[in-house]
Amino acid sequence: MAGVAAAGLAVVTVGALVLTTRGDDEPASTIAAVATTVATVPPTTVPATVAPTEAPTTTTTEPDPGSLPLTEDRPSASSPAFQEHMRALWQAIVADDPAVAMPAFFPLGAYLQVKDIANPESDYRSRLIAAYEEDIHALHDELGAQASGATLEGVDVPDAQAVWVPPGAEYNKGSYWRVYGTTLRYTTPDGRSGAFPIASLISWRGEWYVVHLSSIR
Q: 140-166: b or e for each residue (b if 16 or more CB lie within 10 Å)?
A: beebeebbeebebbbbbbbbbbbbbbe
Specify the pLDDT at position 71.
87
Side chain identity at residue 93, one-letter code: I
What per-residue confidence (pLDDT) applies to 65? Answer: 81
- The reported pLDDT for the residue numbered 62 is 67
Asked whether 171 and 116 are in contact (CB, 8 A), the reply is yes
pLDDT at residue 60, as a whole number: 52
pTM of the model: 0.71
Q: Which fold is adopted by the domain 75-217? A: Nuclear Transport Factor 2; Chain: A, (3.10.450)
Residues of the chain short of pLDDT 70, as ranges, are 1-62, 67
pLDDT at 61: 62
Closest CA to 78 of 185, 1, 162: 1
Distance, in Å, from the CA atom of 88 to the CA atom of 65, rounded to the nearest integer, reads 17
* Domain parsing of the chain, residue ranges: 75-217
Amino acid at 132: Y
